[in-house]
Structure 1
Amino acid sequence: MTENTASTTAAPPTRSLAGRTILMSGGSRGIGLAIALRAARDGANVALLAKTAEPQPRLEGTVHTAAAAIQEGGGGALAIVGDVRDDGLVADAVAQTAERFGGIDVVVNNASAIDLSTTAELPMKKYDLMQDINTRGSFLLAKTALPWLAQSSAAHILTLSPPLNLNPRWAGQHLGYTIAKYGMSLVTLGLAEELRQQGIAANSLWPRTTIATAAVRNLLGGDQMVARSRTPEIMADAAWEILTRDPSECTGNFFIDDEVLAEAGVTDLSTYGGPAEELELDLFLDG
């Protein structure tokens, strides 16, 4: 390589996910798919470990349609039908991803189950499902991918979970779900500290408002709630901002989507939804 001596000031590196490999739990639709498509625009590779192999009446998209969209968007794609609760399937997903793309740079813990029932009304089967997918699944996917992340110079673990807010309101409203989501956040907190010296970043990302996804429509308030939500692209753009940062300088954070974008100079959020005063504040955020 020829050295350029015309200037003593090097140009800043272009931030991009080009050539990097992302392994994501879920991602057939909603926020996960939006993150994957944003990465695909850079030319990233995205492997999706998701359960939806066939179309469902109330759910748009499958892991296969998502993979096709990623390829159409400019990225490499690998569709893996599997369950993040299954140790063997997760190990196989990690192995398939590394074999197909030569390694793993990013893990995105996107898969999550939700049930906002009170303690008395929450079936233990639903409680176990939330703990197994949300907390255990996030721990397992990150743990299993660690040998490959350790070989990357741009290693990130990004978990879609909220700040650890100990306001009793949240546990008091839906204890089972709160335990499951805060468990995901504890994965971030612990891994950030444990992996700091290895240069592997661990961060969480959470939306300021509800996001227009199938979960919001089907479980939280129908079309009326969707109308008061921002689009998934705000989370995708915020995730891109985080994942293109130096992992040695960006770890242990509980990011909120609009704060990430504001730090990047993006203050006009009208493209993501209506006026802020008309939007629904998301769970786990006070006021």
Structure 2
Amino acid sequence: MSGVALAHALNRGLRAALEADPRVLLIGEDIGRLGGVFRVTDGLQKDFGGDRVIDAPLGEAGIVGSAVGLAMAGYRPVCEIQFDGFVFPAANQIITQLAKYRHRSEGRVGLPVVVRIPVGGGIGAIEHHSESPEAYFAHTAGLRVVCPSSAQDAYDLIGLAIRSDDPVIFLEPKRSYWLKGPLQQRPAPAPMDAARIVREGDDVTLVAYGALVPVAVEVAAVCAEEGRSIEVVDLRSLSPIDDDTIAGSVVKTGRLIVAHEASSTAGLGAEIAARVQDELFYSLEAPVVRVTGYDTPYPPSRLEESWLPSVDRILDAVDRVLSY
């Protein structure tokens, strides 16, 4: 199947999970009759009923807190947070309950909860609607954090996340919701914690995730016209990080650029750079370079294109690492 939007792939993945397992429930604000702000859950309440696709009151702490109780009772709830900036009222439930309970119970009780969060900028939204909160959750032991970049990955990862016995923070790049791509129902998708080589190359490794993967591919295409070969790695899993795939690429190229929308300080790029410097110092031909959002609050929509990592900013980083 070709030409499926990422949002529609998520819808199909959620539908497949609801059909396959009666323990799967969806809960969130406006996800039923409205089908969600981005229409990801469109039509699911009509087909599966209000007891399995639940329109919740306005209260993220209650949504995730209810999911914790449901999971302890044997269900597999999938929460939707309307926008990234609205997840913080539920931080207590996510960080002190979801992330800790399996460890606290010595493995006897799991919390198979998925928390879906639309993330990132590029859609001209107002304040608190374009955040990149991934580092908060990747820093929290006990949570898995994933972020698809394509329709196929969205479909595969949402199914894997719902079947996981660990709590999963599922980040959905908003500006990629209507990005279309091929979709197949594969019996054995790539593991949830595996990175993906999107485009092979020999001169520079470029690691990205979510909405910046298509930008990275565009950078690689521009560089190819100039005789420079860029290997693009889609991280997919932000916690745990697939160190082996990144290491294999860096050993081959000797140079690494990490790009993400979140601010630079203490972001995922810093963690990846530290790991590579620690383990592969003698394989590097140049310092690791990060291309990120700036260390400021997310700007007004008229300025966001200057704030977000762009093709030109990443090309400048390519020039820097190849100048050594």
TM-score band by shorter chain is 0.3 to 0.5
Between Structure 1 and Structure 2, which shows a larger proportion of strand residues?
Answer: 2
